[in-house]
Amino acid sequence: MSTIQNQAVIITGASSGIGEATAKELASKGAKLVLAARREDRLKKLQDEIQTSGGQAIYKVTDVTSHEQLEELAAYALKEFGKIDVLVNNAGVMPQAFLFKKKIEEWDQMIDVNIKGVLYAIAAVLPSMRERKSGHIINLSSVAGHNIYPGGTVYCGTKHAVRAISEGLRQEEAMSGTNIRVTNVSPGAVNSELLETTTDPELKAGLDEFYKVAIDADSIARAISFAIEQPSDVAINELIIRPTVQVG
Residues with catalytic annotation? 155
What distance in Å separates the CA atoms of residue 240 and residue 22, rounded to the nearest whole number? 16
Which residues is 9 bridged to in the sheet?
33, 86
Cα 45 versus chain centre, distance = 20
Residue 218 burial (CB < 10 Å; 0-12/13-18/19+)? middle
Among 70, 52, 53, 50, which Cα is nearest to 61's? 70
Could you give the strand order of the β-sheet that contains 238-241, starting from the edge strand earlier in sequence? 56-61, 32-37, 8-12, 86-89, 135-140, 180-187, 238-241
Nearest to 140 by CA among 235, 11, 229: 11
